[in-house]
Amino acid sequence: MRVFNFAAGPATLPLPVLEQARAEMTDWQGSGMSVMEISHRSAAFVAVAEQAERDLRELLGIPQNYKVLFLQGGATGQFTAIPLNLTAPGATVDYLNTGVWSKKALTEAKRYCTVEVVADEAASHYTTVPAPGSWQVSAEAAYVHYTPNETIGGVEFDYVPDTGTVPLVADMSSTILSRPIDVSRFGVIYAGAQKNIGPSGLVLVIVREDLLGRSRANTPPIWDYAVMAQEGSMLNTPPTFGIYIAGLIFQWLKREGGLAAIGERNHRKASLLYDYIDASGYYKSPVSRNARSWMNVPFNIADPSLEKTFCSEALAAGLANLEGHRSVGGMRASIYNAMPLQGVEALVAFMRDFQQRHG
Ligand SMILES: *Cc1c(COP(=O)(O)O)cnc(C)c1O
């Protein structure tokens, strides 16, 4: 029996996509082979990758002057690739520090650049986002990096920073495709696949063309945006199964009505959960109201000794992976695109029942 899986990543995938992949597993499109067993350079597979890119471009409204790359090494690899591709030695770069992932990104950038932390939410224990206008882009910054959604803290920006002519770089791993965005506001968008795109092993990079060709001489070619754009992301063997599944997910998103419809549904799901938490007088959200993530919802109960019981009883009720990240404890419900509204309704019903029995 399938459960409602609230894991933060790798995360739940849409059931129709899993069922299609199962149906096609051993004989893909009449080839007598699975999609995993054909050459990445075959016309059939190249068509899969091209269709995936077309569908993604349509979903996100990606302008013509942006390249779409399907790479490997995860979002963590991009923490390195960003400074290598966008700066010369001695450059200064700006980072907004809003939690675990932005901290990791800026720590890596320090190996290559002078990092200015232009906004730091440490004082709130990373439960807030910096207000627009409360921080400034450094005069000499080569780019500004931020994490629109902090997956562990459950903190999400409710605005896109205005960085003027300085390229804005965003780690969208846990928020991409959750609602419409204006891609033209960004220089580079990157996202590990395993939250809202598909299986792990694939990382998406969307890069504005004028930022290509600035990489340092020692940049690994597999992370060099200009090289990978030139090679159609196939300098080496790409993660073919991941690209295939991502393509099926993009088609599923289109069938579901595209990102406007998905965004409305995500907003409903998140509101249902936060409204219940706030009204319960029992559960608490640690996150400031204007910074609450639509995708990752951490919450606590006053008596932390009940948290283990909460998670084990939830699992017995078919609600899996509600433990908070090991660094922060508590509970966390990740409610990405593939989590249906019924999953959130079932969670709220369970929380109400748990409160009645233990509160
Ligand atoms: C999951 C996540 C990462 C790490 O992704 P990997 O693919 O494991 O490297 C980085 N940033 C954010 C915001 C994430 O949610």
Tell me how far apart the 2 most distant CA atoms of the chain are, in Å. 63
What's the CA-to-centroid distance between 74 and ligand 1, angstroms?
A: 7
pTM value is 0.98
Instruction: Establish whether the linkage from the previous residue to 10 is cis, with ω within 30° of 0.
Output: yes
Q: How far apart are the C-alpha atoms of 200 and 204, rounded to whole Å?
A: 11
Residue whose CA lies nearest to ligand 1 atom number 14: 173
Is residue 9 left, alpha or beta, with left meaning phi > 0 and alpha meaning psi from -120 to 50?
left
Residue 331 confidence (pLDDT) above 90: yes
Q: Tens of pLDDT along 205-240?
A: 999 999 999 999 999 999 999 999 999 999 999 999
CB 159 within 8 A of CB 182: no
Which ligand 1 atom is at minimum distance from the Cα of 193?
A: 7
CB 283 within 8 A of CB 355: yes
Alpha-helical segments (H) within 25-92: 43-60, 74-86
pLDDT bracket for residue 288 (50, 70, 90)? very high
Residue whose CA lies nearest to ligand 1 atom number 5: 75
Residue 302 confidence (pLDDT) above 90: no
Residue 329 confidence (pLDDT) above 90: no
Q: Which residues line ligand 1 (CB under 6 A)?
A: 9, 74-76, 101, 147, 151, 171, 173-174, 192, 195
Q: Decide which of 3.40.50.261, 3.90.78.10, 3.90.1150.10, 3.40.50.10800 is the CATH code for 257-358.
A: 3.90.1150.10
The boundaries of every CATH 3.40.640.10 domain in the chain are 15-255
pLDDT bracket for residue 24 (50, 70, 90)? very high
Residue 327 confidence (pLDDT) above 90: no
Six token digits for residue 294: 């639509």
Residue-level pLDDT at 164: 96
Residue whose CA lies nearest to ligand 1 atom number 12: 173
171 has catalytic annotation:
yes
Residue-level pLDDT at 153: 96
Task: Dump the DSSP string for 116-128.
Answer: EEEEE-GGGTS-S
Q: What are phi and psi of 159, to 5 degrees?
A: -155, 160
Residue-level pLDDT at 352: 98
What's the CA-to-centroid distance between 190 and ligand 1, angstroms?
A: 10
- Crossing angle of helices 258-280/43-60, nearest 10°? 60
CB 113 within 8 A of CB 87: yes
Q: What share of the chain is helix, strand, coil (3-state, %, to 5)?
A: 40, 15, 40
CATH of domain 15-255: 3.40.640.10
The boundaries of every CATH 3.90.1150.10 domain in the chain are 257-358
**Average pLDDT estimate for 250-269:** 98
Pocket perturbation via mutation, ligand 1, pick of 173, 174, 202, 293 by most ligand atoms within 8 A of CB: 173
101 has catalytic annotation:
yes
Q: Which residues contact 56 (CB under 8 A, 6 or more apart)?
A: 62, 68, 204, 246, 250
Q: How far apart are the C-alpha atoms of 162 and 253, rounded to whole Å?
A: 29
Task: Point out the catalytic residue in the list 101, 223, 252, 294.
Answer: 101
Residue whose CA lies nearest to ligand 1 atom number 4: 75
What's the CA-to-centroid distance between 80 and ligand 1, angstroms?
A: 13
Residue-level pLDDT at 359: 84
What's the CA-to-centroid distance between 53 and ligand 1, angstroms?
A: 21
CA dist list (Å): 197 to 3, 10, 114, 326: 20, 10, 32, 24
Task: Point out the catalytic residue in the list 171, 223, 224, 294.
Answer: 171
